[in-house]
Amino acid sequence: MRQVVLYIAMSLDGYIADTEGGVGWLDRLEGGQAGYAALLKETDTVVMGWNTYHQITTQLSPGAWPYEGLRCYVATHRPLADTPRARFTADPCGLVRRLKAQPGKQIWLCGGANLAGQLLEAGLCDRLRLSVAPVVLGGGIPLFGPSGALVALELLKVRRDRELVELEYRCPAAGTV
C-alpha cells in the first residue's frame, strides 16, 4: 500500500504561513533543497488543499507549474472542472483511500493545514516530514489546529539541513491512538 507523507516547512512556533498567508519568510533561509529533491524522487502524486493550490498558481509560481510529471489532486468544495494540471475533489479522505490502494510511489501531502489535519485525524497520513525553520512568526496559520484528537507520533529521524531541522515521524494507523 502506498504511503502518504506530509512534507512541509514550519516556523519554530508551529506556523506554516504568516498572518497574511505568506511564506516569504522561508526565502531567507538556507537548506531544504536536499530533502525536497529526495522527496520528489520517491513521489508520483501530490495532494493539496485549495488555498495551497491557489497560492502556488497565483503567487509562488504563476508562470510555471512546479509539479510537472506528478499527478495532482486538489481538495476543495468549489465545483471546478479538472484541468491538465490538477483534478479537484470534495472528498479528500475518499480520494486518499483510493490512491493508497493503487500501485505507485508515495503520495505527497504538501498542504495546507486544514487538509493535513483531516487526513491525520482519519488515519490516512503515514509519515510527517517537518522542516522546522529557526524563525518565530508569533502568529499566522498553524500547522495543527485544535481538533480534540490525541495523535501520538513515533520519531523516526532527525536531520539537519543547514538552517533547517527536519523531523520525521510515523503516524498511527486509524483507530490505534
Find the CATH number of the domain harbouring 58: 3.40.430.10
Residue 114 belongs to a domain = yes
pLDDT at 1 over 60: yes
Mean of per-residue pLDDT scores for the chain: 92
Residue 175 belongs to a domain = no
In whole angstroms, what is the distance from residue 52 CA to residue 57 CA? 9
Residue 176 belongs to a domain = no
Domain of 121 in residue numbering reads as: 4-170
Instruction: Give the tens place of pLDDT for each residue, 82-115.
Output: 999 999 999 999 999 999 999 999 999 999 999 9
Residue 177 belongs to a domain = no
> What pTM was computed for the model?
0.92
Domain count, the chain: 1
